[in-house]
Amino acid sequence: MGAHSRFDAFRALADRRGRPGVRLLDALTEEAAAGHAPVETWAPETASRFGLPAASVLGPATFYADLAAPHGRRHVRVCTAAACFAARAGEHVSEVEHALDVAIDHVTTDGEVSLQGVRCLGYCYAGPACLNGDTPCTGPTLADQLTGQALPCDPPIPAADATGAPVVLAGVVEGRDAWRTWLAVLRAGAPERVLGEVAASGLRGRGGAGFPVAAKWAAAGRSPGTVVVANGDEGDPGSYADRLLMEADPGRVLEGLALACFACGGSRGVVLVRSEYPRALATMRMAVERARADGHLGRRVHGTDVDLDIEVVEGSGSYVAGEETALISGLEGERGCARPRPPYPTQHGLWDAPTVVNNVETLAAIPWIVEHGGNAYAARGTPSETGTKLVCLSERFARPGCYEVELGTPVLRIVEELGGGLREGSDLTVVQVGGPLGGFLAADQLDVPLSETDLAARGAALGHAGLVAFDQRIDPADVLRHVWEFAAAESCGACSPCRVGSRRGLEIVQAGQPGEEYERLLRVMGEASLCAFGRRVPAAVHSLVRAFGDRLAGWDG
């Protein structure tokens, strides 16, 4: 059987049961939130309601963190990711455990309070952070906020344009209305113009992979039934740009999605919002309803022959499920594991339909590109990597926040001029760039342009372009252990090199005994892992060791 006709037993069975997909995961989410009973006790009953075997439901129920974690009547999520770790050297976790009298990923014996460790809540600029139910709490008084001794602290995301003419932040910092470009494009009735302007712009995906957007759209071939997915599963710790856009300018995100659907010949859009962003989820759903009421969505939109509707879906807690094939698996109700390619999603994606997956920031740039022209966008940035990028600075910076910069801007300028260096007179030691699997740069290695090519030459990656600063208080060995903890916790387990390698790597680091086995597992993970997650772990580790130099001697693999 060829790769393009690979049989998926779950998909075939679910197809016969009416494609429950998102409805199945929503039902599992409700059951998980209802109590702290083990998942094995309630998942089979949910399966029977959908006419599915217990095994097909136990898979996702035990895979996604939000479903597998025990839930008390009061559920608290504490961020353990890079920016919050750097803010207090991880001490906030034990403080929260002590304040709530419950260990992380456990529930009190009376079922009253549960505590779940998560990796990024999108409050990297104000960490450490928790969600008390859906109420954010941030900052050094985190434990007091959770016990009622201090009021919840929920600062807005600082945002600023550093280009002189914002593209993605046009609505956030200048108040420009969304949907104007959509109306003009509909009246012109020329989807090829949208595709042409995006092609001329040179826009690449802003979610980390950096694939040319126009090429991905063209690969779907304007096939009937094409689905376009806005990927709002912003899992890279250190980045909160997508949360900013979905909460502060949801109309622009939806307009970009609508333009993408129009260019691809699709009549259905899906917005996936990670569960760690409850406010963004609510805002996007309200924005869809408003767009329908204003006539931007529905049948025969604004009197044209265009039909378009958009659905907003909540994620279930998984970093790897942000990878496009894993994301599609999740939308179908399966475990969020990466799938082998080919076939590619643009040919066989969601329920086997041609599917285009674009990141939220990517889509938010589309209205400006179509309105001002692809050439205007291509004139910005660098000749090989055009346009602008949102860069998020973590809490350790004197001026943390989300900044729009042109690609090619020196990282040193972003750190010193925009970020103002570090707060409280701290000394910068290393900067993590592009998420946990992006890479690290030493404080004296920041004279590098913010571009995929230039960062790759330094062993780092652009990714979401979040910058997390680590100061002199943080032990390099703790940072190395933290990277491996993330890898071991978030590996989807679909392939042996990543599943086994990430866990064994953590064990070796915890034991403090590098050697031939460690070198070998790094090599195997980098060469044989199924998706970019496993392949990037060794690169991130190598860059970390280089950035800290002699302070991590012996861990260079």
Is residue 173 in a domain?
yes
CATH number at residue 496: 1.20.1440
Do 329 and 237 share a domain, yes or no? yes
Q: What pLDDT is attached to residue 17?
A: 67
- Are residues 454 and 508 both part of a single domain? no
Instruction: Specify whether 86 is located in the same domain as 120.
Output: yes
Residues facing 171 on adjacent strands = none
What is the model's pLDDT at position 10? 66
> pLDDT grade, residue 386 (50/70/90)?
very high
Q: Which residues have CB under 8 Å from 46's CB, separation 6+?
A: 24, 27, 28, 31, 57, 61
**CA 317, CA 28: separation in Å to the nearest integer?**
13
Q: What is the mean pLDDT of the chain?
A: 92
Residue scoring higher pLDDT (556 or 347):
347
Look at residue 4 and tell me whether its pLDDT is greater than 60: no
Which CATH number is 129's domain given? 3.40.30.10
Residue 2 lies in a domain: no
Cis peptide before 128 (omega within 30 of 0): yes
Parent domain of 370: 159-378
Residue 1 pLDDT: 37
Domain boundary among 341, 356, 378: 378
Q: What is the pLDDT of residue 53?
A: 86
- Quick one: average pLDDT of 505-529? 93
Number of domains forming the structure of the chain? 5
Task: Report pLDDT for 2.
Answer: 42
- The answer on 396 and 369 residing in a single domain is no
Quick one: angle between helices 241-248 and 278-293, nearest 10? Answer: 40
Output the furthest CA–CA distance in the chain (Å, rounded): 68
Question: Could you tell me if 53 and 88 lie in one domain?
Answer: no
Share of the chain above pLDDT 70, in %: 97
Average pLDDT over residues 453-464: 91
- Whether the bond into 343 is cis, omega within 30 of 0: yes
Of the chain, the end-to-end C-alpha distance in Å amounts to 40
Question: Are β-strands 113-118 and 106-107 bridged in parallel, bridged antiparallel, or unpaired?
Answer: antiparallel
Q: Residue 68 domain-assigned?
A: no
Please say which residue of 313, 345, 378 terminates a domain.
378
Give the three-state DSSP class for 333. Answer: coil
**Is residue 417 domain-shared with residue 316, that is, in the same domain?**
no
CA distance 26 to 13: 19
Q: Mean pLDDT, to the nearest integer, of 7-16?
A: 67
- Determine the Cα–Cα distance for residues 199 and 416; give it in Å rounded to an integer: 34
Assigned domain for 454 exists: yes
Residues 308 and 399 in one domain: no
Average pLDDT, integer, range 209-230:
93
- What pLDDT score does 52 carry? 86
383 assigned to some structural domain: no
Segment 311-329 shows an average pLDDT of 89
Residues in contact with 529: Cβ distance below 8 Å, sequence separation at least 6, in sequence order: 495, 497, 498, 501, 535, 537
As a whole number, mean pLDDT of residues 524-545 equals 92
pLDDT of 163 above 80: yes
Cβ 267 vs Cβ 307: under 8 Å: yes
Specify whether the CB–CB gap between 365 and 374 falls below 8 A: no
**502 in the same domain as 459:** no
Task: Note whether 306 and 417 are same-domain residues.
Answer: no
Residue 507 in domain: yes
Same structural domain, 318 and 426: no
Which of 325, 355, 378 represents a domain boundary (last residue)? 378
Asked whether residue 317 falls in the same domain as residue 176, the answer is yes
Q: What CATH number does residue 374 fall under? A: 3.40.50.11540
| pLDDT for res 319 | 82
Range of weakest confidence among 104-108, 137-141, 319-323? 319-323
Give 320's pLDDT tier (boundaries 50, 70, 90). confident
For 258-311, how does the pLDDT look when each residue is reduced to its tens digit (9 = 90+)? 999 999 999 999 999 999 999 999 999 999 999 999 999 999 999 999 999 999
Q: pLDDT by residue (tens digit) across 395-449?
A: 999 999 999 999 999 999 999 999 999 998 899 999 999 888 889 999 999 999 9
pLDDT at 13: 65
User: Is residue 153 a part of any domain in this protein?
Assistant: no
Rounded Cα distance between 445 and 515, Å, is: 28
**DSSP character string of 198-267:** HHHHT-B-SSSS--BHHHHHHHTTT-TT-EEEEEE---STT--HHHHHHHH-HHHHHHHHHHHHHHHT-S
Rounded CA separation 434/421 (Å): 18
pLDDT at residue 37 is higher than 80: no
CA-derived radius of gyration, the chain: 23
Residue 305 lies in a domain: yes
Q: Are residues 460 and 541 in the same domain?
A: no
